[in-house]
Amino acid sequence: MRKRAVSIEEIKSDVASLVGQKLKISVNKGRKKVVKYDGELSGVYPSVFVLKITGDKTINSLSCSYSDVICGDIKLKGENKK
């Protein structure tokens, strides 16, 4: 099945709706290397967004472009609050 084409504007609005929420972040580094973080979205800018990483002592923040989300290199999943 083919994936639906998504525009940058749709991704920007989806990412902007996650500001301040706790997230599960998966980063595809290539060659079957996927790194997972817990964090939250701290800032949204015209070309990039910034993730504040919690629970990892080696990295504090991560900046990503919206094209990383479209390509599937970055996956953001909101945590359910129950």
Q: Is there a contact between 37 and 27 (Cβ–Cβ < 8 Å)?
A: yes
**How far is residue 30's CA from residue 81's CA, in Å, rounded to a whole number?**
31
- Is there a domain that residue 2 lies in? no
User: Does residue 20 carry a pLDDT above 80?
Assistant: yes
Residue range 18-27: mean pLDDT, rounded:
92
| 59 part of a folded domain | yes
Q: Please give the residue range of the domain that contains residue 62.
A: 8-78
Number of domains forming the structure of the chain: 1
Per the domain annotation, does 3 fall within a domain? no
User: Which CATH number do you get for residue 32?
Assistant: 2.30.30.100
For 39-64, how does the pLDDT look when each residue is reduced to its tens digit (9 = 90+)?
A: 999 999 999 999 999 988 889 999 99
The pLDDT of residue 82? 47
| pTM score, whole prediction | 0.83
* Mean per-residue pLDDT of the chain: 89
